[in-house]
Structure 1
């Protein structure tokens, strides 16, 4: 009997690609709603809720104690998690005064800088030039209606540096099970973020409604994206996965416009486009030079 389902089979990359797009959108929506907590508990309290609740959710889901971990690996995960905590806290501090999409675009300088540093190809000067152009359009060199807050920009650059450190430390823990490293990493991140949030907000952070909202933000902005990205990363070439993640700044800008009413100037949209193009170009050209082996 002829199997008719074979003629309508989905392309093998369709589901992983949809998973990445859904992960990016989920992260943007979750962060947009988290920013609405800033008037109540500040960026510090909001970051503490997001990281602390994310750690609890993923610890329960993955139960990382099921896998053995050496003393060296525990130290590697601790450093990875502390970098993750700093990245989250500084990113939320940036969101207090600059638009969501611009904060994400500046934060992308971190992983892009790591990629360019280790690559050292002549074509990389093109991507560096695009980044410089994007930053020249974004940074508050002039005072006008679209000028950015210098403090917010500084926090965003701090988040970018922390993201770069997170990538370097994350590679040293990359041989561990992804669920174990991510859940324990978030637990380590909470060691930084939660005390800062409690010191800033106090016992108000334990209000039942805030905890429930924090749980929802944690699921939408951490648990769902991380799970979907892990699914996609196993099924997509690394350069394809990286290029797709490069849509984050524009998705964040659109989410900020829809949910937070953050309208960007044309020059700011152009700046985001330059940084995205640099990210996509760097990853794509690296992929052409050295493609990863196909999984067995």
Structure 2
């Protein structure tokens, strides 16, 4: 059976989404041993080593005047990953992803400034309202986990803005490799302080490498390949599937179950993200002569 070549980039994006969320699911197996701080450190460490070997940023790296923005990019990457893992240590994966997704969603909506985007704002706000633990009722989410997820969302939004500036000055692969290296300067000391010698236990090595490969090496490669062959609108719409994919893999891999209200909230975030991607691209098309 032959696959239509036109479908290959679409399949690459789908595999990238599955890979990222599978990596996040597997990382939760390590939380009882290393904590989210230790898992973040190992993920960043092995991802950095892989990316440095592949992209070799020491050849044709950034100019001296660009190092500041590259360091900021790396710092945001480190804080984003650390706070996301702190969030999903307390929250179901699908909910953590949905809350974090509010960051890029806000960037997309604010950059569009179309009146029709208020529909997607309303969807996102409704989804957030359903997820926030009002009054500590039964089944409410951990408020500390929600806080960490919203910090991760803020970092993701800033990461996108800063990342656009970095990509204009440094080759994409080299920028990611350098960003990961700078993020490691933040996350590795935190992981060592929290986890100590357990961080280097041979029993966690296969899991740590799997998380690094699934969460960074595979998706970065697949996304770079896909973006060369599919429109940004299609890519954005497909990435909107991440919260739902996280919820599904969280259920299949680690048995996390969500209430009907939480599923509706995730669906609203998916709709808001997909809608904002669609209308933002349509606004660009309408502005073209």
Scaled by the length of structure 2, the TM-score of the pair is: 0.95
1:128 aligns with 2:143: no
Structure 1: which 4+ aligned runs deviate by more than 4 Å? 8-12
SS of corresponding position for 2:234 = helix
The CA RMSD measured in Å over matched residues stands at: 1.5
**1:242-263 deviation per Cα after TM superposition (whole angstroms, max 9, x unaligned):** 1101100000000110111110
Q: Among 263, 270, 275, which residue is 1:269 paired with?
A: 263
Could you list the per-position Cα deviations for residues 196-238 of structure 1 after superposition, in whole angstroms to 9, with x for gaps in the alignment? 1011011221122323321121111110011001111111111
Q: 1:110 aligned to 90, 103, 113, which one?
A: 103
Structure 1 equivalent of residue 150 of structure 2: 157
Counterpart among 16, 38, 51 of residue 58 in structure 1: 51
In 2, Cα distance between equivalents of 1:285 and 1:201: 45
- In 2, Cα distance between equivalents of 1:291 and 1:43: 43
2:131 to 138, 142, 146: 138
2:75 is the counterpart of 1:82? yes
* Residue 220 (1) aligns with residue 190 (2): no
Give the distance between the partners of 1:133 and 1:152, measured in 2 at CA.
19
For 1:272-287, what aligned pairs fall within 5 Å after superposition? 272-287=266-281
- Report Cα offsets for 1:165-213 as digits up to 9, x if no partner: 1111101111221110111111111111111101101122112232332
For the 8 Å contact 2:37–2:86, the answer to whether it is kept is yes
Residues in 2 aligned to 1:81 and 1:235: alpha-carbon distance in whole angstroms:
28
The aligned residue for residue 237 of structure 1 is 231
In 2: Cα distance, 1:170 partner to 1:44 partner: 24
Secondary structure of the equivalent of 2:76? Answer: helix
TM-score normalised per structure 1: 0.93
Aligned to 1:171: 164
Q: CA offset at residue 12 of structure 1? A: 4.7
Structure 1: any 5+ residue segments left out of the alignment?
Answer: 1-7
Which has the greater radius of gyration?
1
Distance 1:219 1:151 in 2: 28
Q: Which residue of 1 aligns with 2:6?
A: 13
Shift in Å, 1:115: 1.3
How many residues in Structure 1 have an aligned counterpart in Structure 2?
Answer: 285
What is the rounded CA distance, in whole Å, between the counterparts of 1:71 and 1:277 in structure 2?
Answer: 42
Whole-angstrom distance in 2 between the partners of 1:129 and 1:117? 14
More helix, by proportion: 2
CA positional deviation for 1:116: 1.3
Distance in 2 of aligned mates of 1:142 and 1:260 = 28
Identify the residue that residue 71 of structure 1 maps to in structure 2.
Answer: 64
Match of 2:199 in 1: 205
**Contact (CA 8 Å) 2:26, 2:207: kept in 1 or not?**
no
Q: For the residues of structure 1 that align with 2:211 and 2:89, how far apart are their CA atoms? A: 17
Q: Give 1:23's match in structure 2, choosing from 12, 16, 27.
A: 16
